[in-house]
Amino acid sequence: MGKERTQARREHLATMRAAQKRKERRTAMLMWGAGAFVIVLVVGLVGFYVIRENAAGSLDAVKTFSYKASQHTAIKVNYKETPPVGGEHNPQWQQCGPYDGPINPENGVHSMEHGAVWITYRPDLPKAQVDKLKAMVTSDYILLSPYPGLTAPVVVSSWNHQLALTGADDARLPRYITKYKQNPSTTPEYGATCSGDQATSALAADNPIPTTSPTPAPNASAAPSESPAPAESSAMPSATPGS
Highest averaged pLDDT of the listed ranges 21-35, 42-56, 197-211: 197-211
219 burial via Cβ count (<10 Å: 0-12, 13-18, 19+): exposed
Q: Of the candidates 178, 195, 192, which has an alpha carbon nearest to the alpha carbon of residue 97?
A: 195
Please give the average per-residue pLDDT across 187-206, as a whole number: 97
| 53 has pLDDT over 90 | no
pTM score, two decimals? 0.69
The answer to whether residue 99 scores a pLDDT higher than 70 is: yes
For residue 135, what pLDDT is reported? Answer: 96
pLDDT band at 104 (very low <50, low <70, confident <90, very high): very high
* Across 234-241, average pLDDT: 40
- Is residue 235 pLDDT above 70, yes or no? no
Residue 2: CA count within 13 A, CB half-sphere = 0
pLDDT tens for 84-98 read: 999 999 999 999 999
CA 106, CA 119: separation in Å to the nearest integer?
15
**97 and 107 in contact (C-beta within 8 Å)?**
no
